Amino acid sequence: MAARFTLPFLRGDLPQASQAAATALGRGMETGIPGAIVAHSGHLFCLGWVIGDFSGFGHNTDGLPGPPFVWTAARALALAIAGYHEAGRDLLATLTDDIALGRTDSLHFLGVAIAVEAAFILEQQDVLVAASDVLARQADDHVVLGLGVIDLGPVRRYLALVHARTGGHDLAVRELREVMQDGRSGLLWQFRAALDLQTLTGVKAPQAANGLWSWMAHG
Protein backbone atom coordinates (compact mmCIF):
# COMPACT_ATOMS: atom_id res chain seq x y z
CA MET A 1 0.00 0.00 0.00
CA ALA A 2 2.75 2.47 0.93
CA ALA A 3 4.28 2.18 -2.54
CA ARG A 4 1.08 3.64 -4.07
CA PHE A 5 2.29 6.99 -2.80
CA THR A 6 5.20 7.04 -5.23
CA LEU A 7 3.53 7.28 -8.66
CA PRO A 8 1.37 10.33 -7.92
CA PHE A 9 4.30 11.87 -6.03
CA LEU A 10 6.57 11.52 -9.08
CA ARG A 11 3.83 13.02 -11.27
CA GLY A 12 3.63 15.97 -8.92
CA ASP A 13 0.06 15.16 -7.91
CA LEU A 14 0.49 16.02 -4.24
CA PRO A 15 -3.19 15.75 -3.20
CA GLN A 16 -3.39 12.20 -4.55
CA ALA A 17 -0.03 11.32 -3.03
CA SER A 18 -1.19 12.68 0.33
CA GLN A 19 -4.38 10.62 0.14
CA ALA A 20 -2.39 7.51 -0.75
CA ALA A 21 -0.12 8.10 2.25
CA ALA A 22 -3.10 8.43 4.61
CA THR A 23 -4.75 5.30 3.18
CA ALA A 24 -1.54 3.29 3.54
CA LEU A 25 -1.18 4.36 7.15
CA GLY A 26 -4.78 3.42 7.95
CA ARG A 27 -4.47 -0.01 6.35
CA GLY A 28 -1.10 -0.56 7.96
CA MET A 29 -2.40 0.23 11.42
CA GLU A 30 -5.46 -1.97 10.92
CA THR A 31 -3.45 -4.98 9.82
CA GLY A 32 -0.39 -4.45 11.99
CA ILE A 33 2.05 -4.04 9.11
CA PRO A 34 5.55 -3.40 10.51
CA GLY A 35 6.96 -0.06 9.42
CA ALA A 36 3.63 1.60 8.63
CA ILE A 37 4.33 4.58 10.89
CA VAL A 38 7.88 4.96 9.61
CA ALA A 39 6.70 4.86 5.98
CA HIS A 40 4.05 7.46 6.75
CA SER A 41 6.60 9.73 8.40
CA GLY A 42 8.73 9.40 5.27
CA HIS A 43 5.77 10.34 3.09
CA LEU A 44 5.03 13.40 5.22
CA PHE A 45 8.68 14.40 4.96
CA CYS A 46 8.59 14.13 1.15
CA LEU A 47 5.41 16.18 0.88
CA GLY A 48 6.77 18.77 3.29
CA TRP A 49 9.97 19.07 1.30
CA VAL A 50 8.14 19.82 -1.94
CA ILE A 51 5.87 22.46 -0.40
CA GLY A 52 8.52 23.86 1.94
CA ASP A 53 6.50 23.16 5.09
CA PHE A 54 7.59 20.41 7.45
CA SER A 55 4.94 21.01 10.10
CA GLY A 56 3.22 17.74 9.21
CA PHE A 57 6.48 15.82 9.47
CA GLY A 58 7.76 17.51 12.63
CA HIS A 59 11.35 17.80 13.77
CA ASN A 60 11.16 15.41 16.72
CA THR A 61 11.81 12.00 15.18
CA ASP A 62 13.69 10.52 18.13
CA GLY A 63 10.88 8.07 18.90
CA LEU A 64 10.67 6.63 15.40
CA PRO A 65 12.18 3.20 14.73
CA GLY A 66 14.88 2.81 12.13
CA PRO A 67 18.42 4.16 11.80
CA PRO A 68 18.81 7.59 13.44
CA PHE A 69 21.14 8.49 10.55
CA VAL A 70 18.20 8.94 8.18
CA TRP A 71 16.05 10.94 10.59
CA THR A 72 18.99 13.16 11.52
CA ALA A 73 19.55 13.95 7.84
CA ALA A 74 15.83 14.68 7.45
CA ARG A 75 15.84 17.06 10.41
CA ALA A 76 18.95 18.79 9.09
CA LEU A 77 17.27 19.43 5.74
CA ALA A 78 14.10 20.70 7.42
CA LEU A 79 16.19 23.11 9.49
CA ALA A 80 18.20 24.24 6.45
CA ILE A 81 15.08 25.03 4.42
CA ALA A 82 13.52 26.84 7.39
CA GLY A 83 16.62 29.02 7.68
CA TYR A 84 18.07 27.54 10.88
CA HIS A 85 21.46 27.05 9.29
CA GLU A 86 23.63 26.77 12.39
CA ALA A 87 21.41 24.07 13.88
CA GLY A 88 21.34 22.26 10.54
CA ARG A 89 25.13 22.31 10.28
CA ASP A 90 25.47 20.94 13.81
CA LEU A 91 23.29 17.97 12.89
CA LEU A 92 25.05 17.32 9.60
CA ALA A 93 28.44 17.35 11.30
CA THR A 94 27.40 14.21 13.19
CA LEU A 95 26.79 12.30 9.94
CA THR A 96 30.03 12.71 8.02
CA ASP A 97 31.75 9.59 9.35
CA ASP A 98 28.69 7.41 8.66
CA ILE A 99 28.45 8.75 5.10
CA ALA A 100 32.11 7.93 4.44
CA LEU A 101 31.52 4.27 5.36
CA GLY A 102 29.99 3.88 1.90
CA ARG A 103 27.01 1.70 2.83
CA THR A 104 24.53 1.32 -0.02
CA ASP A 105 21.52 -0.34 1.60
CA SER A 106 18.45 1.58 0.49
CA LEU A 107 17.61 3.21 3.81
CA HIS A 108 21.13 4.47 4.42
CA PHE A 109 21.46 5.60 0.80
CA LEU A 110 18.25 7.59 1.21
CA GLY A 111 19.83 9.33 4.19
CA VAL A 112 22.96 10.13 2.20
CA ALA A 113 20.89 11.81 -0.52
CA ILE A 114 18.95 13.88 2.03
CA ALA A 115 22.20 14.86 3.75
CA VAL A 116 23.62 16.02 0.41
CA GLU A 117 20.53 18.15 -0.18
CA ALA A 118 20.99 19.81 3.21
CA ALA A 119 24.75 20.17 2.75
CA PHE A 120 24.23 21.93 -0.59
CA ILE A 121 22.02 24.53 1.07
CA LEU A 122 24.38 24.88 4.04
CA GLU A 123 27.55 24.78 1.90
CA GLN A 124 28.97 22.02 4.09
CA GLN A 125 31.68 20.69 1.84
CA ASP A 126 32.95 17.88 4.06
CA VAL A 127 29.56 16.16 3.82
CA LEU A 128 29.44 16.61 0.05
CA VAL A 129 32.94 15.22 -0.44
CA ALA A 130 32.20 12.23 1.79
CA ALA A 131 29.07 11.44 -0.23
CA SER A 132 30.60 11.80 -3.69
CA ASP A 133 31.91 8.24 -4.16
CA VAL A 134 28.84 6.70 -2.53
CA LEU A 135 26.55 8.45 -5.01
CA ALA A 136 28.80 7.83 -8.02
CA ARG A 137 28.53 4.05 -7.58
CA GLN A 138 24.78 4.27 -8.27
CA ALA A 139 24.76 7.23 -10.65
CA ASP A 140 22.27 5.64 -13.07
CA ASP A 141 19.71 4.75 -10.41
CA HIS A 142 17.01 6.54 -8.44
CA VAL A 143 17.16 7.11 -4.69
CA VAL A 144 14.49 4.56 -3.78
CA LEU A 145 13.53 3.13 -0.41
CA GLY A 146 12.74 -0.58 -0.53
CA LEU A 147 10.30 -1.57 -3.27
CA GLY A 148 9.34 1.96 -4.18
CA VAL A 149 7.90 3.17 -0.86
CA ILE A 150 9.72 6.48 -1.46
CA ASP A 151 11.46 7.74 -4.62
CA LEU A 152 13.65 10.82 -4.17
CA GLY A 153 14.52 11.03 -7.85
CA PRO A 154 17.66 10.40 -9.91
CA VAL A 155 20.97 9.96 -8.14
CA ARG A 156 22.48 12.20 -10.83
CA ARG A 157 20.65 15.17 -9.39
CA TYR A 158 22.37 14.70 -6.03
CA LEU A 159 25.71 14.20 -7.76
CA ALA A 160 25.09 17.51 -9.52
CA LEU A 161 24.70 19.21 -6.14
CA VAL A 162 28.01 17.72 -5.01
CA HIS A 163 29.78 18.87 -8.19
CA ALA A 164 28.31 22.35 -7.92
CA ARG A 165 29.87 22.91 -4.49
CA THR A 166 33.18 21.14 -5.13
CA GLY A 167 34.46 22.86 -8.26
CA GLY A 168 32.56 20.94 -10.93
CA HIS A 169 30.09 23.58 -12.11
CA ASP A 170 30.03 22.46 -15.76
CA LEU A 171 29.60 18.82 -14.79
CA ALA A 172 26.76 19.78 -12.45
CA VAL A 173 25.00 21.60 -15.29
CA ARG A 174 25.33 18.55 -17.57
CA GLU A 175 23.96 16.22 -14.91
CA LEU A 176 20.96 18.46 -14.26
CA ARG A 177 20.17 18.72 -17.96
CA GLU A 178 20.20 14.94 -18.20
CA VAL A 179 17.71 14.70 -15.35
CA MET A 180 15.47 17.30 -17.02
CA GLN A 181 15.49 15.50 -20.37
CA ASP A 182 14.90 12.00 -19.02
CA GLY A 183 11.18 11.22 -18.68
CA ARG A 184 12.01 8.48 -16.19
CA SER A 185 12.97 11.20 -13.70
CA GLY A 186 9.30 12.03 -13.12
CA LEU A 187 7.76 15.48 -13.56
CA LEU A 188 8.44 16.37 -9.94
CA TRP A 189 12.18 15.84 -10.25
CA GLN A 190 12.45 17.18 -13.80
CA PHE A 191 11.05 20.47 -12.61
CA ARG A 192 13.23 20.44 -9.50
CA ALA A 193 16.31 19.94 -11.70
CA ALA A 194 15.22 22.96 -13.76
CA LEU A 195 15.09 25.01 -10.57
CA ASP A 196 18.52 23.72 -9.53
CA LEU A 197 19.82 24.76 -12.94
CA GLN A 198 18.26 28.17 -12.45
CA THR A 199 20.17 28.48 -9.17
CA LEU A 200 23.47 27.58 -10.84
CA THR A 201 23.14 29.45 -14.15
CA GLY A 202 20.39 32.03 -13.80
CA VAL A 203 18.45 30.45 -16.67
CA LYS A 204 14.81 30.92 -15.73
CA ALA A 205 12.91 27.70 -15.02
CA PRO A 206 9.36 27.27 -16.31
CA GLN A 207 6.67 27.74 -13.70
CA ALA A 208 4.89 24.54 -12.69
CA ALA A 209 1.12 24.81 -13.04
CA ASN A 210 0.59 22.95 -9.76
CA GLY A 211 3.06 25.04 -7.76
CA LEU A 212 5.69 22.35 -7.25
CA TRP A 213 8.67 23.63 -5.26
CA SER A 214 7.10 27.12 -5.18
CA TRP A 215 9.04 27.94 -1.99
CA MET A 216 12.25 27.56 -4.01
CA ALA A 217 11.02 29.21 -7.19
CA HIS A 218 9.97 32.35 -5.35
CA GLY A 219 12.37 32.21 -2.42
The number of domains in the chain is 1
What does pTM read for this prediction? 0.92
Four-point Cα dihedral 36, 71, 145, 166, nearest 10? 170
Q: How far apart are CA 44 and CA 66, in angstroms?
A: 16
Average pLDDT score, the chain = 89
pLDDT in tens, 84-120: 999 999 999 999 999 988 787 888 999 999 999 999 9
Instruction: Using alpha carbons only, give the angle 212, 13, 186 rounded to the nearest 5 degrees.
Output: 75
CA distances, 96 to each of 130, 132, 205 (Å): 7, 12, 32
pLDDT in tens, 120-158: 999 999 999 999 999 999 999 999 987 678 999 999 999
Domain that holds residue 148: 2-217
